[in-house]
Amino acid sequence: MTITLINTTKRMKVINLPHDIYCAAAGKCACTAAAGRDGRRIGSSLTLPAGSITPGLDEAVLLEPEVARDVRAGELRVRREAPVPKNTNPSRKTPRRSGRKNER
Ligand SMILES: [Zn+2]
């Protein structure tokens, strides 16, 4: 599931997404590089400008302690993006067949 993070403050926030926390929870590696001679991965970071609304984030960001703290403090708002049911999208032009399918 993806979420939207809203920065309600007047400060830009830069959130680091450590591999151990973020990638592990997201189930995929979002690190910018697997660089370093010691093989350590460099986690990606997330920039949230003041007052910004950032959609399409993996909910794994909520596990990042800094994010969790900001959400509790009300500095970040979280909006969960419920998946849009395919059969109720009015903008779809695709004609539906009359037969009923069991759609979940
Ligand atoms: Zn990673």
User: Domain ranges in the chain?
Assistant: 2-84
The DSSP code for 63 is G
Pairing of β 13-17 and β 2-7: unpaired
Q: Which of 3-17, 25-39, 81-95 has the lowest mean pLDDT?
A: 81-95
Place of tokens 């995929």: 28
List the structure tokens of 24: 């592990």
Residue 14 Cα to ligand 1 midpoint, Å, equals 17
Residue 19 Cα to ligand 1 midpoint, Å, equals 4
- The 10s digit of each residue's pLDDT in 18-66 is 988 999 999 988 887 665 666 677 788 999 999 999 999 999 999 999 9
Q: What residues does the ion ligand 1 have nearby, CB within 5 Å?
A: 19, 23, 29, 31, 41
Residue 75 Cα to ligand 1 midpoint, Å, equals 26
